Amino acid sequence: MQLTIRRPDDWHLHLRDGAMLERVAPYTARQFKRAIIMPNLSPPVTTAQAARDYKSRIMAALPEGSDFEPLMTAYLTDETLPEQIATGHADGSWVAAKLYPAGATTNSALGVTDIANIRAVLAEMEKIGMVLCVHGEVTDPAIDVFDREAVFIDKVLIPTLADFPGLKVVFEHITTKDGVDFVMAAGENVAATVTPQHLMLNRNALFESGLRPHAYCLPVVKREEHRLAVREAATSGNPKFFLGTDSAPHPMSGKVSDCGCAGIFNAPYALEAYAQVFEEEGVLDRLEGFASEHGPAFYDLPLNEGTVTLSRAPTLVEDVIGEGADALTPFLAGQTLGWHFTE
Ligand X SMILES: NC(=O)N[C@@H](CC(=O)O)C(=O)O
Write out the binding residues for ligand X, residues 128-157 only, by CB under 6 A: 135
Bridge pairing between strands 315-316 and 190-194: unpaired
Residue 168: which H helix or E strand, with range?
none
Residues 80-109 that bind ligand X (CB under 6 A): 105-106
Please choose which of Zn ion, ligand X, none residue 40 contacts, taking the beta carbon within 5 to 8 angstroms, the exact cut-off set by kind. Answer: ligand X
Return the residues of window 87-116 that contact Zn ion according to CB under 5 A.
Answer: 105
Is 40 a binding residue for ligand X by CB under 6 A? The answer is yes
Q: x/- site string to ligand X, residues 201 to 240, per CB under 6 A?
A: ----------------xx----------------------
189 assigned ligand-binding residue: no
Residue 289, binding choice from Zn ion, ligand X, none, Cβ under 5 to 8 Å by partner class: none
Can residue 135 be called a binding residue for Zn ion (CB under 5 A)? yes
Alpha helices, DSSP H, located in the chain = 18-31, 48-61, 82-90, 119-128, 148-152, 158-163, 177-185, 196-200, 224-234, 252-255, 270-280, 287-288, 294-299
CB of 307 to Zn ion, least distance (A): 27
Q: Is 16 annotated as ligand-binding?
A: yes
- Using CB under 6 A as the binding rule, whether residue 245 contacts ligand X is answered as no
Task: Tell which one of 102, 228, 262, 333 touches ligand X (CB under 6 A).
Answer: 262
- Taking the least distance from each CB to Zn ion, the nearer of 86 and 143 is 143
Whether 258 is catalytic is no
Contact of residue 301 among ligand X, Zn ion, none (CB under 5-8 Å per partner type): none
Angle between the N-to-C axes of helices 177-185 and 224-234, in degrees from 0 to 180, rounded to the nearest 10: 40
Q: Note whether 75 and 98 are within 8 A (CB).
A: yes
Q: What is the DSSP letter of 220?
A: P
Spatial contact of 197 and 173, defined as CB atoms under 8 Å apart: no
Please choose, from the candidates 238, 205, 234, 240, the residue with its C-alpha nearest in 3D space to the C-alpha of residue 220: 205
Q: Dihedral of CA 301/306/311/314: which sign?
A: negative
**Stretch 4-63 residues interacting with Zn ion (CB under 5 A):** none
Residue placing its CB nearer to ligand X in the complex, 111 or 296? 111
Q: Please name the helix (run of DSSP H) or strand (run of DSSP E) that holds residue 65, with its range, or none.
A: none
Does residue 44 have a cis peptide bond before it, meaning omega lies within 30 degrees of 0? no
246 near Zn ion, judged by CB under 5 A: yes
Cβ-proximal residues to 134 (8 Å cutoff; 6+ apart), any chain:
98, 99, 157, 169, 170, 171, 172
| Residues in touch with ligand X (CB under 6 A) | 14, 40, 105-106, 135, 217-218, 246, 248, 262-263
Interface residues with Zn ion (CB under 5 A) are 105, 135, 246
Output the known binding site for substrate.
Answer: 14-16, 40, 135, 218, 250, 262
Catalytic residues: 246
